[in-house]
Amino acid sequence: MSSASATLPAHDAGHHDESKFPLYVQIAMLLAVITGVEIIAVYLPFAKWILVTTLVGLSTVKFMFVIFYFMHLRWDKPFCTILFFIGLVLTAGTMWALLTLFSVENAIPLPT
């Protein structure tokens, strides 16, 4: 008769891998630092285009960290990542179309 502990795997598959916790903490600290840089950048006297470009770049970096680590896309199958980005591209295209359609220049009545 064999013991029940001999048939169990080395670690329980139902629990998260504890070795990823320090990685999550480091990423959370990095995201906090990036957020602080974004807040400070708004108050610095830079040209508007430099400020907007910097904020968009930093927001993109934060977005990528969140989706790949905290949404676990890094460890998912590539198909799930592809589906996520297809939805993201469709959403961005829809937002661009709506903003173009309802922009201020297009809302001005034509002279009669």
Q: Are 55 and 84 members of one domain?
A: no
Q: Are 53 and 87 members of one domain?
A: no
Q: Are 94 and 62 members of one domain?
A: no
In this prediction, residue 6 carries a pLDDT of: 52
Q: Are 105 and 81 members of one domain?
A: yes
Q: Are 67 and 89 members of one domain?
A: no
Residue 6 lies in a domain: no
**What residue numbers bound the domain in which 112 lies?**
77-112
Residue 10 lies in a domain: no
Residue 26 lies in a domain: yes
Contact 67, 31 (CB under 8 A): no
- pLDDT tens-digit series, residues 48-77: 999 999 999 999 999 989 988 888 888 889
Q: Are 39 and 69 members of one domain?
A: yes
Distance from C-alpha of 56 to C-alpha of 29, rounded to nearest angstrom? 19
In this prediction, residue 102 carries a pLDDT of: 82
Distance from C-alpha of 57 to C-alpha of 36, rounded to nearest angstrom? 14
The predicted model scores a pTM of 0.65
Provide the number of structural domains found in the chain.
2
In this prediction, residue 104 carries a pLDDT of: 72
In this prediction, residue 105 carries a pLDDT of: 73
